[in-house]
Chain A
Amino acid sequence: MQNRIVVGAHYGLRDWLAQRVTATVMALYTVFFVVNLFCLPEFSAEAWRAMFAGGFMRFATFLFWLALFFHAWVGVRDIFMDYIKPVGVRLIAHSVVAFLLIGYAGWAAQILWRL
């Protein structure tokens, strides 16, 4: 029986929560990043690079990118659900976004572990 009134895009509690958790991770990382930036001995390409090569920073930065991609997945899907009504088109759009984001995650890993 279906007696729930569903309006708008935010009926997936798990996604809603995931979006908030990833938002918090990104916000914390942003503060951490800015603090690290101000602790740099000098603003140069070498110092910038060395900052991300540090073990914890590399891990935190990767976590940030992953949170971002997951967050964008939920967010962009919400936007598509609002504006793209034909189910087929929506499915294709969702798939394109999913593949793009998975690709980006690989790209981010490659950038960070080449350092």
Chain B
Amino acid sequence: MSDTTIKKPRPKHLDLKVIRLPLPGFVSILHRVSGAGLFLMLPVLLWLFGSSVGGPEAVAQAKSVVANPLVKLVLFGLLWAYLHHFCAGIRFLLLDMHKGLDLPTARKSAGAVLVVSLTLTVLIGAKIFLG
């Protein structure tokens, strides 16, 4: 497999202290990070889902686990991960369909993804965790 890959010479500029990642690049890397995070936490999410629709004991157990501030923090992170991945994913789907490809629009939509997903995270998170 790898021997059929023809190496195309590409400019490499990977010094993290020098790179200034443009906004769309930032959204893109966070899309990968959020996808990986969601994947890693799937057992937790499935357990929570299963308990939440289980009997009263299961629900009570899930509630006591979620009462832990550390768990709350992780779930808050996962909420952001889903919302960011969702918004950025829809943006990618639109780009794939050649919608909003020009640079000014692509920059604006990247900014919108960041703002919308963070705002929704705070609003939904406050509603869920603060009652």
Contacts and interface: CB of A to CB of B under 8 A. Distances in A.
Interface string B79-122: 00000001001100100100000000000000000000000000
B56 A111 contact: no
A1 B43 CA distance: 45
Nearest to A27: B90
Contacts of B6: 2, 4-6
Nearest to A75: B35
Chain B interface category by residue count: 20 to 34
Interface stretch (B11-19, B20-28, B45-53, B67-75): B45-53
Chain A interface category by residue count: 20 to 34
A6 B4 contact: yes
Contact of A20 (B2, B86, B93): B93
B126 interface: no
Contacts of B1: 87
Interface of A: 2, 4-7, 20, 23-24, 26-27, 30, 45, 48-49, 52-53, 72, 75-76, 79, 87, 100, 104, 107-108, 110-111, 114-115
Given A26-B86, A30-B86, A48-B53, 20 more contacts: A2-B4, A2-B6, A5-B6, A5-B8, A6-B6, A7-B10, A20-B93, A20-B96, A23-B89, A27-B86, A48-B52, A49-B52, A49-B53, A76-B35, A79-B36, A87-B1, A87-B2, A104-B43, A104-B46, A108-B46
10 closest A-B pairs by beta carbon, nearest first, are A111-B50, A45-B59, A49-B53, A72-B39, A6-B5, A2-B4, A75-B35, A52-B53, A5-B6, A23-B89
